[in-house]
Amino acid sequence: MLFRLDVHFSTYPVYQDQEALLATYFNEEFETLPRIALEALQLKRLQATVETVYRNVPFYRSSLDKAGITPASVCTLADLQRLPFTTKQDMRDSYPYALFAAPMEEIVRIHASSGTTGKPTVVGYTRKDIENWADLMARTLVTAGAHKGDIIHNAYGYGLFTGGLGVHNGAERLGASVIPISGGNTARQLMIMQDFGSTILTCTPSYSLFMAEEALAAGVDFRKLKLRVGIFGAEPWSEAMRLEIEEKLNLTALDIYGLSEIMGPGVAQECFEGKSGLHIWEDHFIPEIIDPVTGEVLPAGEKGELVITTITKQGIPLIRYRTRDITSLNYEPCVCGRTHARISRLSGRSDDMLIIRGVNVFPSQIESILVGIEGVEPHYLLIVDRQENLDTLEVQVEVDERIFSDEIKVLQRLARLIEKEIKDMLGVSCSVKLVEPKAIQRSEGKAKRVIDKRQL
């Protein structure tokens, strides 16, 4: 009911086949909406979202009441700044379903991303949410230069993680041929890429470089493959890495952004034409940049933490969600003709979350695993590096008298046990290194738990 005003919402262009091959836009009307109309649409959708969450989500009712805000008092887009933030912690406190704004009978899909205490962050999608996601992901693919007839080699993981299914549904919505290969088994990936004639590759940037190394060893020549475009995301990367990928895989490498809390892949995408910043789909999301310490909204162009408000989501709408990702917003017109603002390449995180091979890892998760193993001290250090283009994680654990043994095999068994627990709980492979007590530097206040040696 609340979304009845958005009559264009589910309409997507029906191209004639020939036209579709030439299409630059998936949904031209919305992608090129003049800013004044875009902002009017945002306000209308924001008001509806605030009303929905106020009515259906106790968390938002109490946080809005506390801030002295009624849905009726949201009169302009500037009023957004008065609304309270939603944090990852709020999502954890609401585990699993307390932030859902739609009844369970309307939720058709549940995804989750890893959390800090072993409990994931849970998101639910209504049928409409899934449709919108597919539309936005199709738009994202077209923005990256994809069209009907493309063979999309989707090496993002399928499962609770939103990457695989998100790209998959968008590719089908676009009408491209999608190969749901998921991650891993690189030799098979290369064979299929070669034999099936994949034209678009979607995976993490580090995995693409790993594929390039494996291809070299296997005698597969990327210049002979049909790959044209790579859509890479789910972990931070750099311009230097883009050049390396483009050189080694002989394709145009573009940056994609998304997070499960907001939707999944397809929240923002770098355009093929401009290749300079990622268009964030402002007809569905309102971006803001804040100072991560004070919470103040920063002017366009300044670097800070990205905050996103969802304005069409039904399952789990989020008001001013703090993404912890550091970027800036650019409202300058783009050569591609899209009017949606661009976020700059992510330059880091405002919290201690690490992204290792596309998986979110919080040091506190590792800590709770270590503490759960009999006798292991919570003195640990994580060393993240990138070797042969793949992220590596070394976990240094101090050996104290409770776990020390005069037998090598007992200590080695302990190291393997910790590695297995981390792999089982977090889905990340690591190597455990046992070190002498006090080998790990103690510091006053916040302990230094992470050394990230990756050169991006």
Partner 1 sequence: MKVEQISIFIENKSGRLAEVSSILGDAGVNIRALSLADTSDFGILRLIVNDREKAIAALKGRGFTVSKTEVVAVEVPDQPGGLASILHVLDAAAINVEYMYAFVERCGANAVIIFRFDETEKAITTLQAKGFNILDGQRLYGM
Dihedral sign computed on CA atoms, order 137, 143, 148, 153: negative
- Residue 434 or 456 having the CB closest to partner 1: 434
Q: Where are the alpha helices (DSSP H) in 239-362?
A: 239-249
Could you identify the residue written with the tokens 């880091």? Answer: 348
The residues, any chain, with a CB within 8 Å of residue 141's CB and separated by 6 or more, are 26, 150, 152, 167, 170, 171, 174, 176, 200, 231
Considering the complex, what minimum distance in angstroms separates the CB of residue 370 from partner 1?
16
CB 359 within 8 A of CB 322: no
Provide the residue count of the chain: 456
Q: Which of 233, 261, 59 is nearest to 163 (CA)?
A: 233
Q: Is the Cβ of residue 195 or residue 407 nearer to partner 1 in the bound state?
A: 407
What's the min distance (Å) between Cβ of 418 and partner 1? Answer: 13
Task: State in angstroms the smallest separation of the CB of 432 from partner 1.
Answer: 9
Residue 332, Cβ neighbours under 10 Å: how many? Answer: 10
Q: Give the nearer residue to partner 1 in terms of CB position, either 160 or 403.
A: 403
Chain residues 268-327 in contact with partner 1, contact rule CB under 8 A: none
Indicate left, alpha or beta for 345 from its phi (over 0: left) and psi (-120 to 50: alpha). Answer: beta
Non-local CB neighbours of 193 within 8 Å, separated by 6+ positions: 153, 201, 220, 225, 227
Give min distance, CB of 421 to partner 1, in A: 18
> Which residues, 383 to 442, sit near partner 1 by CB under 8 A?
399-401, 404-408, 411-412, 433-439
Tokens standing for residue 402:
């409770």
Backbone angles phi, psi at 433, to 5 degrees: -115, 125
Residue for token digits 């569905």? 284
What phi and psi values does residue 430 have, to the nearest 5 degrees?
-145, 170
Distance CA 346, CA 257 (A): 9
Closer to partner 1 by Cβ: residue 66 or 409: 409
Q: What are phi and psi of 195, to 5 degrees?
A: -75, -35
Give the residue with the Cβ less far from partner 1, 4 or 409.
409
* Contact between 374 and partner 1 per CB under 8 A: no
Opening angle at CA 353, ends 295 and 378, nearest 5? 120
- State in angstroms the smallest separation of the CB of 371 from partner 1: 19
CB of residue 369 vs partner 1: minimum separation in angstroms? 20
Complex with partner 1: residue 439 or 450, whichever CB lies closer: 439
| Complex with partner 1: residue 105 or 436, whichever CB lies closer | 436
Alpha helices in 333-442 (DSSP H): 363-371, 408-426
Residue 47 or 429: the one with the smaller Cβ distance to partner 1 is: 429
Shortest Å, Cβ 383 to partner 1: 13
The nearest distance, CB 396 to partner 1, in angstroms, is 10
For partner 1, the closer of residues 141 and 381 by Cβ is: 381
Closer residue to partner 1 in complex, CB, 250/396: 396
Give min distance, CB of 376 to partner 1, in A.
13
Residue 46 tokens, joined? 């924001």
CA distances from 442 to 302, 365, 377 (A): 35, 19, 13
Task: Tell me which DSSP letter residue 77 carries.
Answer: G
> In this structure, which amino acid lies at residue 387?
Q
31 to 50: interface string for partner 1, x by CB under 8 A: --------------------
As measured in angstroms, the least distance from the Cβ of 455 to partner 1 is 24
Number of chain residues interacting with partner 1 (CB under 8 A) = 17
Binding mask 346-365 for partner 1 (x = CB under 8 A): --------------------
Binding characters for partner 1, 205-244, by CB under 8 A (x = yes): ----------------------------------------
In the complex, least distance from residue 380 CB atom to partner 1, rounded to whole angstroms? 15
Pick 70 or 405: Cβ nearer partner 1: 405
Residues that bind partner 1 (CB under 8 A): 399-401, 404-408, 411-412, 433-439
